């Protein structure tokens, strides 16, 4: 079986990743240090290219999120800071690899925090 995390994703995150601080919407405002790929220039939202929209986003490895003791549900109502801005996570969806969702990524749809 191909290890997509080590062979494909690790080099991408080494080359293009930026440090980020995820702040969870809990009573302690729990923070976690992560690495994301900045896609605030826009990611395609929707399956139909003809009517899809482009929204600011970021991509992170699910294994990194799990590695700091968090889950995808932790992203609900959370904020993430990177590249000099703080963003509210509006929604998120998995971007699995052939070896499964856990080895893949999560696409974050973001809104600039005012």
3-state secondary structure of 85: strand
Higher pLDDT: 54 or 28? It is 28
Cα gap 98→1, rounded to integer Å: 10
Residues 6+ apart with CB under 8 A from 25: 76, 77, 78, 79
Mean pLDDT of the chain: 90
Cα gap 60→108, rounded to integer Å: 8
Per-residue pLDDT at 45 exceeds 90: no
Domains and CATH numbers, the chain: 4-112 (2.40.10)
Widest Cα–Cα separation across the chain: 45
Q: For residue 61, give Cα distances in angstroms to 19, 20, 50, 111, 114.
A: 13, 12, 28, 20, 26
Provide the pLDDT for residue 1.
73
How confident is the model over 46-101, as pLDDT tens digits? 665 555 567 899 999 999 999 999 999 999 999 999 999 999 999 999 999 888 88
Which range, of 13-17, 30-34, 42-46, averages the lowest pLDDT? Answer: 42-46
């Amino acid at each position: 079986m191909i290890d997509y995390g080590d062979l494909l994703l690790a080099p991408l995150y080494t080359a293009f990743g930026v440090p980020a601080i995820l702040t969870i919407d809990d009573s302690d405002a729990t923070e976690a240090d992560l690495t994301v790929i900045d896609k605030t220039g826009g990611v395609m939202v929707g399956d139909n290219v003809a009517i899809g929209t482009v929204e600011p986003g970021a991509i992170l490895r699910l294994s990194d999120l799990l590695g700091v003791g968090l889950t995808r549900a932790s992203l609900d109502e959370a904020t993430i800071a990177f590249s000099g801005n703080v963003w509210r996570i509006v929604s998120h969806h998995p971007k699995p690899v052939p070896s499964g969702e856990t080895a893949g990524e999560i696409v974050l749809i973001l809104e600039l925090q005012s």
